């Protein structure tokens, strides 16, 4: 106990002297970064889950092709609703139309409200309940096709329903736009009277649940083991691919940014721990003289560090909690209301992080302190032997690797960052060697002050390499985060530009295609090309029957999706968001009359289809084959028409086809939709404005998070810069005092300092560019799924900019050399 009290008294003295500032700042930055990002990420995740629940229709949604009667018991805290979806013909007098019917129970919708209007294409409004018994809500197109108005009766199977409202928006309407037909919503209790669902009917049952997280998790755990083939628990990833891609990339970026900030602070911590030990040699020698043994000295300094870690952990955790609230206020217009507060897990993990990194990086320094000889009291030149460098490097690498694994759990990402760091370390050796040759080359042509500054770098190669690596890692991390941030936000903006298509049109008849395109052009409506659609099955690959699911929806059970019809199309030009990765498009292939097909890359990989393979199809009682001439990537999340399989012009002649397209229409020009539907009554018009708005809201949320995280990376970078300068200043003070004693003027010392620090900054900028480009390559391909392209501008901008910044920082931190008496500096 007495040793603990001694350690705390020494800690209080060191605190007042300012000797612990470097360790405290580095540790405080690391813990605050961890806690703020932890609390913020958990809050954002809660917000995303809330938005995801709105898009899915519940906190838990189970999809089944058959009715489920044996669900586990649902507690009173959970609200349940059921939606049954199927296709059937709806009639009004002599008019009839195939419709997508959705029968809902009393509590539907559970989450986000529906939107309805009193007349087609009029202003809509929200409602939190579905149709009443005997009532039907129709999408606008059904009004025109069936020739009905509010109050008319329509036939749905064996029952009649009264047309009540216009259905304009369903928050939980997921899946492929191409499979949509006009929607009719009715009450589930009318379903039995309609007598539409028979044995073998194609039906989707959606069982939706909303309630407290613990109750939902308990229900989910009870449901999952009972699921049969074809049944699944839905998630945001299976219902909304655009939102899923944004969330995955945002989560990956947050992991990367927090990892970079903490690694930088850890490097500063390792440098600060070494500086801590070097300034405690005299104290350790005195303690040995007072009779303390080596293990007791180790205990004293360990208690100091543990107390420092706990103080920083509590302060960093508290500040992280406050900052996360401040950020939530800044994002109040973007985040949903009543987001659940984050748990205390980030706070306790922040304490653990503080203890692990401080004690871990300080271990070599502590071992060195306990070896201090009592004779150092008399001879200041006696320095305890440090641990072997190999052991020190092993400890540092293991700790850094452990931190990276904790945050990413991704070996490939870890390998990319370690490879970039290793490249940076190798480059520091090469640059210092080349710099030595450069100094000798320019030595005869520069002033003595400039030569002195540059030769300091060549003379202190080990110190120079440490500084180069420290500054280089700082700039490398900043470059990675800034460049990735730019690419990430740019990708999101390209994914959903302001004028992304917000209307889809299906079932354009061949005889109406020309007139339809002319009508859009006449009204100056921005539109995508008209793509023909032929429904067909892929049956054979190289004359072998296909034995794998072929659907656009990921996560479908194989036996449910086997041989499902696909949308086949043809086009003379490659769609704008498609890229050929193997083979050639038709314009680069001689027209020899053969039927050719281009296949999407993921489907080709899943079915092991290669260039030159023969694919067989079954369409409208006909069987034909086509040769694979190209493989292409497709941006499914682009809100534009896309296809798995596209044929060359003429490849699907004489087959029944309709046309599909999408277009952008401003809200103030919505009145153009009514005459469009009236002139072309057979079309299916889908309005997706609200879906686009929800997706953009989520993208704005994660973009704001990206901007916020940059502040912590910057703070960590400044910390390592501070550590690098502080740990090298004692030697600089002595050298400056000697130079002034020998007659060096103030101007000569300033030139010497500027040349040294500018050279270090410029060289560290080169190190950062090499390391950042190598790390970005792995990060883009593995973590963010973004195409990698080198950035030549960083090689032009970063080295001189780093030279100026480090030169300025070094000059400010070296003022004491110019102002302090040489005699006083030498005595210290």
User: What is the pLDDT at residue 597?
Assistant: 93
For residues 160 and 243, the model is more confident at: 160
For residue 385, give every residue at least 6 positions away whose Cβ sits within 8 Å of its Cβ, in sequence order, or none: 368, 371
For residue 390, give every residue at least 6 positions away whose Cβ sits within 8 Å of its Cβ, in sequence order, or none: none
Q: Is the pLDDT of residue 356 over 60?
A: yes
Contact present, 774 and 423 (Cβ < 8 Å): yes
Q: Is the pLDDT of residue 676 over 90?
A: no
Q: Is the pLDDT of residue 239 over 70?
A: no
User: What is the pLDDT at residue 127?
Assistant: 92
Instruction: Collapse the DSSP code of 576 into the 3-class scheme (helix H, G, I; strand E, B; otherwise coil) and give the result.
Output: coil
pLDDT single digits (tens) 112-169: 889 999 988 788 899 999 999 999 999 887 888 888 989 999 999 889 999 999 998 8
Q: What's the CA gap between 118 and 124, in Å, rounded?
A: 8
User: What is the pLDDT at residue 116?
Assistant: 93
Q: Is the pLDDT of residue 559 over 60?
A: no
User: What is the pLDDT at residue 81?
Assistant: 92
Contact present, 477 and 263 (Cβ < 8 Å): yes
Q: In the chain, what is the greatest distance between 2 CA atoms, to the nearest angstrom?
A: 112
> Which letter does DSSP use for residue 374 in this model?
G
User: What is the pLDDT at residue 439?
Assistant: 63
Least confident window among 68-77, 513-522, 784-793 = 784-793
What percent of the chain is modeled with pLDDT above 90? 9
Q: What's the CA gap between 538 and 565, in Å, rounded?
A: 8
Q: What's the CA gap between 233 and 60, in Å, rounded?
A: 7
Q: Is the pLDDT of residue 555 over 50?
A: no
Q: What's the CA gap between 267 and 264, in Å, rounded?
A: 5
User: What is the pLDDT at residue 523?
Assistant: 87
Instruction: Read off φ and ψ for residue 189, nearest 5 degrees.
Output: -70, -15
Q: Count the Cβ atoms, other than its own, within 10 Å of residue 510.
A: 11
Least confident window among 24-38, 464-478, 771-785, 811-825 = 811-825
For residue 153, give every residue at least 6 positions away whose Cβ sits within 8 Å of its Cβ, in sequence order, or none: 92, 160, 161, 162, 163
Tokens of 590: 């001689």
Q: Count the Cβ atoms, other than its own, within 10 Å of residue 499.
A: 11
Q: How confident is the model at residue 557 (pLDDT cuts 50, 70, 90)?
A: very low
- Ranges 24-38, 499-513, 645-659, 723-737, most confident: 645-659
Least confident window among 151-160, 485-494, 509-518 = 485-494
The residue length of the chain stands at 828
Contact present, 697 and 334 (Cβ < 8 Å): yes
pTM (global) more than 0.75: no
Contact present, 153 and 163 (Cβ < 8 Å): yes
User: What is the pLDDT at residue 32?
Assistant: 82
User: For residue 822, what are the CA distances in angstroms to 170, 196, 456, 594, 826?
Assistant: 79, 98, 19, 90, 6
Q: Is the pLDDT of residue 818 over 80?
A: no
- When the pLDDT of each residue in the chain is averaged and rounded to a whole number, the result is 75
Handedness of CA 423, 429, 435, 437 (dihedral sign): negative
Q: What's the CA gap between 739 and 265, in Å, rounded?
A: 34
Average pLDDT of the residues in 292-312: 80
User: What is the pLDDT at residue 460?
Assistant: 65
Tokens of 740: 């002034």
User: What is the pLDDT at residue 475?
Assistant: 77
Q: Is the pLDDT of residue 563 over 70?
A: no
Q: How confident is the model at residue 362 (pLDDT cuts 50, 70, 90)?
A: confident
> Which letter does DSSP use for residue 333 in this model?
T
- Ranges 37-46, 459-468, 507-516, 750-759, most confident: 507-516
pLDDT single digits (tens) 698-746: 556 656 666 666 667 667 666 766 666 666 666 666 776 777 676 667 7
Average pLDDT of the residues in 16-38: 75
For residues 303 and 254, the model is more confident at: 303
Least confident window among 77-81, 413-417, 441-445, 804-808 = 441-445
User: What is the pLDDT at residue 436?
Assistant: 63
- Ranges 607-621, 707-721, 800-814, most confident: 607-621
Tokens of 221: 């755990």
User: What is the pLDDT at residue 753?
Assistant: 73
- Ranges 198-202, 248-252, 416-420, 534-538, most confident: 534-538
Q: How confident is the model at residue 816 (pLDDT cuts 50, 70, 90)?
A: low
Q: What's the CA gap between 517 and 523, in Å, rounded?
A: 10
> Which letter does DSSP use for residue 664 in this model?
E
Instruction: Read off φ and ψ for residue 632, nearest 5 degrees.
Output: -135, 155
For residues 254 and 362, the model is more confident at: 362
User: What is the pLDDT at residue 68?
Assistant: 84
Q: Is the pLDDT of residue 512 over 80?
A: yes
pLDDT single digits (tens) 79-126: 999 999 988 888 888 787 878 899 999 889 988 889 999 988 788 899
Q: What's the CA gap between 91 and 153, in Å, rounded?
A: 9
Q: What's the CA gap between 555 and 553, in Å, rounded?
A: 6
User: What is the pLDDT at residue 21?
Assistant: 72
For residues 677 and 254, the model is more confident at: 677
Q: Is the pLDDT of residue 77 over 60?
A: yes
Q: What's the CA gap between 246 and 637, in Å, rounded?
A: 10
For residues 363 and 705, the model is more confident at: 363
- Ranges 142-146, 269-273, 358-362, 547-551, most confident: 142-146
């Amino acid at each position: 106990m007495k040793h603990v009290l001694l350690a705390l008294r020494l800690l209080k003295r060191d605190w007042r002297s300012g000797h612990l500032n470097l360790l405290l700042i580095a540790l405080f930055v690391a813990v605050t970064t961890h806690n703020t990002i932890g609390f913020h990420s958990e809050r954002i995740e809660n917000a995303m889950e809330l938005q995801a629940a709105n898009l899915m229709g519940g906190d838990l949604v189970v999809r089944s092709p058959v009715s489920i009667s044996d669900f586990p018991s649902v507690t009173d805290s959970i609200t349940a609703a059921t939606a049954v979806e199927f296709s059937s013909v709806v009639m009004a007098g002599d008019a009839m139309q195939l419709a997508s019917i959705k029968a809902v129970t009393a509590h539907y919708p559970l989450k986000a409200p529906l939107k309805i209007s009193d007349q087609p294409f009029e202003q809509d409004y929200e409602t939190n309940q579905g149709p009443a018994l005997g009532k039907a809500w129709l999408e606008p197109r059904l009004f025109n096709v069936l020739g009905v108005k509010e109050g008319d009766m329509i036939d749905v199977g064996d029952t009649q329903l009264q047309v009540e409202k216009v259905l304009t928006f369903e928050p939980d309407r997921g899946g492929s736009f191409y499979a949509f037909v006009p929607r009719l919503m009715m009450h589930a209790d009318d379903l039995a009277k309609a007598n539409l669902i028979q044995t073998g009917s194609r039906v989707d049952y959606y069982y939706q649940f909303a309630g407290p997280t613990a109750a939902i998790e308990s229900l989910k755990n009870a449901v999952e083991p009972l699921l049969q083939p074809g049944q699944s628990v839905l998630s945001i990833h299976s219902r909304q691919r655009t939102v899923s891609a944004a969330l995955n990339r945002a989560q990956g970026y947050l992991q990367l940014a927090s990892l970079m900030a903490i690694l930088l602070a850890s490097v500063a911590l390792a440098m600060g721990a070494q500086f801590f030990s070097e300034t405690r040699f005299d104290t350790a020698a005195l303690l040995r003289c007072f009779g303390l043994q080596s293990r007791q000295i180790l205990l004293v300094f360990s208690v100091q560090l543990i107390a420092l870690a706990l103080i920083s952990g509590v302060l960093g955790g508290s500040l992280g909690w406050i900052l996360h609230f401040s950020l939530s206020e800044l994002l109040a217009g973007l985040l949903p209301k009543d987001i659940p507060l984050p748990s205390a897990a980030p706070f306790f993990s922040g304490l653990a992080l503080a203890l692990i990194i401080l004690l871990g990086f300080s271990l070599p320094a502590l071992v060195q302190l306990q070896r201090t000889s009592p004779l150092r009291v008399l001879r200041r030149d006696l320095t305890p032997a440090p641990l072997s460098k190999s052991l020190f490097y092993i400890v540092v690498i293991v700790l850094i690797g452990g931190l990276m694994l904790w945050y990413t759990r991704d070996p490939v990402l870890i390998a990319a960052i370690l490879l970039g760091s290793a490249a940076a370390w190798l480059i520091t050796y090469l640059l210092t060697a080349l710099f030595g040759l450069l100094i000798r080359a320019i030595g005869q042509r520069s002033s003595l002050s400039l030569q002195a500054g540059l030769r300091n770098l060549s003379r202190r190669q080990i110190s120079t390499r440490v500084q180069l690596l420290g500054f280089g890692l700082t700039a490398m991390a900043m470059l990675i985060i800034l460049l990735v941030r730019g690419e990430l936000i740019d990708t999101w903006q390209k994914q959903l530009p302001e004028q992304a298509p917000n209307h889809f049109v299906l079932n354009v008849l061949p005889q109406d295609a020309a007139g339809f395109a002319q009508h859009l052009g006449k009204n100056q409506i921005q539109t995508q090309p008209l793509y023909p659609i032929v429904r067909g099955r892929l049956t054979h690959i190289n004359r072998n029957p296909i034995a794998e699911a072929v659907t656009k929806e990921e996560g479908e059970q194989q036996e449910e999706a086997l041989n499902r019809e696909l949308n086949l199309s043809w086009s003379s030009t490659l769609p704008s968001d498609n890229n050929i990765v193997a083979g050639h498009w038709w314009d680069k292939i001689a027209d020899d009359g053969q039927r050719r097909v281009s296949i999407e890359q993921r489907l080709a990989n899943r079915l092991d289809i290669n260039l030159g393979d023969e694919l067989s199809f079954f369409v409208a009682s006909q069987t034909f084959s086509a040769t694979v001439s190209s493989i292409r990537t497709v941006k499914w999340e682009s809100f534009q028409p896309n296809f798995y399989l596209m044929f060359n012009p003429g490849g699907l002649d004489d087959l029944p086809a309709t046309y599909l397209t999408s277009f952008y229409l401003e809200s103030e020009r919505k009145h153009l939709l009514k005459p469009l539907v009236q002139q072309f009554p057979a079309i299916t018009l889908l309005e997706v404005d609200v879906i686009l708005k929800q997706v953009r809201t989520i993208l704005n949320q994660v973009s704001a998070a990206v901007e916020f995280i940059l502040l912590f990376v910057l703070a960590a970078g400044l910390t390592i810069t501070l550590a690098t300068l502080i740990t090298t200043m004692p030697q600089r003070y002595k050298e400056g005092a000697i130079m002034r004693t020998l007659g060096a003027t103030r101007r000569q010392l300033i030139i010497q300092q500027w040349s040294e620090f500018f050279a270090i900054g410029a060289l560290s900028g080169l190190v950062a560019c090499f390391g950042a480009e190598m790390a970005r390559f792995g990060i883009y391909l593995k973590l963010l799924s973004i195409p990698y392209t080198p950035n030549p501008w960083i090689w032009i901008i970063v080295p001189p900019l780093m030279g100026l910044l480090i030169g300025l920082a070094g000059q400010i931190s070296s003022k004491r050399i110019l102002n302090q008496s040489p005699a006083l500096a030498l005595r210290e």
